[in-house]
């Protein structure tokens, strides 16, 4: 878990003016009627009564996006720059590729939460092709090689830093005053991908071969990791660190969480429980693993986590169109990731209108040497024709590069919105 070091909360008059001007723009946008209209469209989709496909863009190569210094930071300290960065990115996305995004009418002050962690870290070699990008290749060295090594996985101890949270909130309120409300927020969503952690400790190749050669080791490590994760989750809930996510919070690898099915009847606003929230899980490394092995080594363990949530999103990059028998065993499953590698006809037949079909277009169309908007349009048209009658969200993500031509992304957004509005 990310920890929060001591931060410098000093704010100059110039810093305050910069952030207040940005906040005023956000407030103006958040008040537009289209925000409520989009929220209702997301709600209808997640309630399986869609009016049209919804579109969202995330995981953006921000280092390639700065046009006319729109993203250039002007505040004076790392803490202030973090706030400024998020404001500028939000406003930039609204100006250039909003698709179905919704602008917050508040600014979040995250609770300062510490954790002792899992007791084991990755030993990794990194290869970088673009020094300005946070996209890079990694090779993991094995740290779990026998049953005794499983004991390296420790149970985290979670603490909530009330004092620092209050200080930070007070400082933010001093900046934004009556322009933009400051809201203290807890965990509004938790990316749950235990296999993303296991492969860091096993190494990718070794983890895959151990599924066959040493299944008892894999099961032992997965069970121990699940014990640790569930203990951590129990602490979050007991400490009041969970927060509702049936709003414009990203759910899993998909879009927003608006729905009438949450928070449910048993909501204590002072202590949100998992049953009031969306949960998620994914096992991306199992892209080439059979449904039976996916069930045995991933889902049967993940179910201990998934059964706790009010609604569930499953998947990310792994193709799941051939694993629907397994997925139907997940309680309250509502949304399923559909990667670029699925067989569309089979996916439509298997998913139908019983779940939200969370489509991930191939972002490679933005990375070609020559931008071809005609090809991007054709890909989306073919997809929308094939999935007619399904509950569709189109989530453009994993965008490694646009060749430093952000206009490609802007145009893709216009193409997508024109198509779904005519759907």
Residues in the chain: 423
Question: Which tokens in the block code for residue 393?
Answer: 């969200």
Task: Quote the tokens at residue 423.
Answer: 């759907």
Q: What is the pLDDT of residues 201-214, one digit of tens each?
A: 999 899 999 999 99
Position 121 scores a pLDDT of 81
* pLDDT for 110: 96
Contact 201/142 with Cβ under 8 angstroms? yes
Task: State pLDDT tens for residues 132-155.
Answer: 766 656 667 789 999 999 999 999
pLDDT computed for residue 3 by the predictor: 39
pLDDT tens-digit series, residues 384-410: 999 999 999 999 999 999 999 999 999
What's the mean pLDDT in 29-56? 98
**pLDDT value at residue 407:** 97
Which ranges in 177-299 belong to alpha helices (H)? 194-202, 204-213, 215-238, 291-294
Confidence bin at 103 (pLDDT 50/70/90): very high
How high is the pLDDT of residue 380?
98
* Lowest-confidence region among 116-125, 204-213, 304-313, 351-360: 116-125
Listed residue (90, 214, 105) closest to 149, CA to CA? 214
| 8 A C-beta contact, residue 36 and residue 47 | no
The sign of the dihedral angle between the CA atoms of 42, 241, 311, 227 is positive
Is the pLDDT at 308 greater than 50? The verdict is yes
Residues 228, 251: Cα–Cα separation, whole Å: 22
Closest CA to 30 of 175, 250, 168, 179: 179
CA angle 167-171-172, nearest 5°? 120
Q: What are phi and psi of 139, to 5 degrees?
A: -120, 120
Q: What's residue 189's pLDDT?
A: 84
Report d(CA 346, CA 336) in Å as an integer. Answer: 14
123 has pLDDT over 80: no
Kindly tell me if the per-residue pLDDT of 303 is higher than 50. yes
pLDDT score of 1:
33
- Angstrom distance (rounded) from CA 226 to CA 232: 10
Give yes or no for a contact between 156 and 171, defined as CB atoms under 8 angstroms apart: no
| pLDDT of amino acid 133 | 67
Rounded Cα–Cα distance for residues 82 and 88 (Å): 10
Distance CA 147, CA 145 (A): 7
E strands, 293-383, are 311-314, 333-338, 356-359
Joined together, the tokens standing for residue 295 give 């069930």
High-pLDDT (> 90) share of the chain, % = 90
Q: Which residues contact 151 (CB under 8 A, 6 or more apart)?
A: 224
| Lowest-confidence region among 189-198, 231-240, 254-263, 303-312 | 189-198
Region of residue 124 (phi > 0: left; psi between -120 and 50: alpha; otherwise: beta):
beta
Per-residue confidence (pLDDT) for residue 136, from 0 to 100: 56
- State the average pLDDT over residues 163-177: 96
Tokens standing for residue 171? 């400082």
pLDDT value at residue 2? 37
Domain ranges of the chain: 50-68+111-159+188-421
CATH fold label, 50-68+111-159+188-421:
TIM Barrel (3.20.20)
d(CA 86, CA 82): 6
pLDDT at 299: 98
With contact defined as beta carbons under 8 Å apart, do 209 and 142 qualify? no
Mean pLDDT, the chain, rounded, equals 94
Cα separations in angstroms, 150 against 28, 154, 219, 300, 398:
53, 9, 10, 19, 32
Residues 6+ apart with CB under 8 A from 244: 188, 262, 263, 272, 276, 277
Report the pLDDT averaged over residues 191-202.
94
pLDDT tens for residues 70-94? 999 999 999 999 999 999 999 999 9
**pLDDT band for position 4 (50/70/90)?**
very low
Condensed to tens digits (0 to 9), the pLDDT of residues 232-279 reads 999 999 999 999 999 999 999 999 999 999 999 889 988 999 999 999
Q: Are 361 and 339 in contact (CB under 8 A)?
A: no
Per-residue pLDDT for 124 more than 80? Answer: no
Determine the Cα–Cα distance for residues 132 and 360; give it in Å rounded to an integer: 25
Three-state secondary structure string covering 127-172: ECCCCCCCCCEEEECCCCCCHHHHHHCCCCCEEECHHHHHHHHHHH
Cα 123 to Cα 76, 142, 195, 200, 202: the distances in Å are 34, 8, 16, 8, 10
- Classified as helix, coil or strand, 113 is strand
Instruction: Indicate the DSSP class of residue 311.
Output: E
**How far apart are the C-alpha atoms of 361 and 419, rounded to whole Å?**
14
Output the pTM of the full model: 0.93
Q: Specify the higher pLDDT residue, 331 or 122.
A: 331
Q: What is the pLDDT of residue 139?
A: 64
């Amino acid at each position: 878990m990310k920890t929060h070091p001591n931060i410098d909360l000093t704010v100059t008059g110039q810093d305050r003016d910069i952030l207040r001007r940005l906040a005023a723009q956000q407030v103006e946008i958040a008040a537009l009627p289209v925000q409520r209209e989009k929220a209702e469209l997301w709600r209808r989709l997640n309630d399986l009564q869609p009016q049209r496909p919804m579109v969202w863009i995330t995981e953006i190569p921000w280092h390639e996006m700065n046009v006319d210094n729109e993203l250039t930071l002007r505040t004076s300290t790392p803490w202030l720059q973090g706030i400024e960065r998020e404001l500028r990115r939000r406003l930039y996305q609204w100006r250039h590729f909003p698709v179905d995004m919704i602008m917050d009418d508040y600014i979040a002050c995250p609770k300062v939460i510490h954790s002792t962690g899992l007791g084991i870290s990755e030993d990794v070699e990194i290869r970088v092709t673009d020094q300005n990008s946070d996209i890079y290749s990694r090779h993991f060295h094995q740290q779990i090689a026998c049953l005794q090594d499983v004991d390296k996985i420790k149970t985290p101890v979670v603490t909530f830093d009330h004092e620092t949270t209050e200080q930070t909130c007070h400082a933010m309120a001093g900046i934004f005053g009556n322009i933009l409300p400051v809201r203290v927020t807890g965990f509004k969503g938790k990316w749950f991908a235990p296999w993303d952690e296991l492969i860091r400790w096993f190494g990718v190749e070794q983890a895959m071969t151990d599924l066959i050669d040493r299944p008892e080791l894999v099961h032992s490590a997965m069970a121990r990791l699940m014990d640790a994760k569930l203990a951590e989750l129990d602490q979050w809930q007991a400490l009041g660190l969970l927060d509702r996510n049936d709003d414009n919070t990203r759910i899993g690898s998909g879009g927003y969480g608006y729905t009438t099915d949450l928070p449910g009847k048993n909501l204590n606003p002072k202590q949100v429980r998992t049953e009031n929230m969306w949960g998620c899980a994914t096992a991306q490394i199992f892209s080439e693993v059979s449904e039976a092995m996916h069930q045995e080594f991933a889902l049967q363990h993940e179910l201990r986590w998934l059964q706790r949530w009010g609604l569930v999103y499953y998947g990310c990059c792994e193709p799941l169109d051939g694993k629907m028998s397994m997925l139907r065993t997940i309680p309250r499953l509502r949304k399923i990731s559909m990667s670029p590698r699925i067989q569309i006809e089979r996916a439509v037949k298997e998913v139908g209108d019983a779940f939200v079909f969370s489509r991930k277009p191939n972002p490679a169309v933005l990375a070609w040497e020559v931008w071809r908007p005609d090809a991007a349009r054709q890909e989306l048209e073919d997809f929308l024709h094939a999935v007619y009658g399904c509950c569709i969200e189109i989530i453009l993500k994993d965008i490694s590069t646009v060749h430093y031509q952000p206009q490609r992304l802007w145009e893709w957004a216009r193409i997508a919105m024109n198509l779904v509005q005519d759907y």
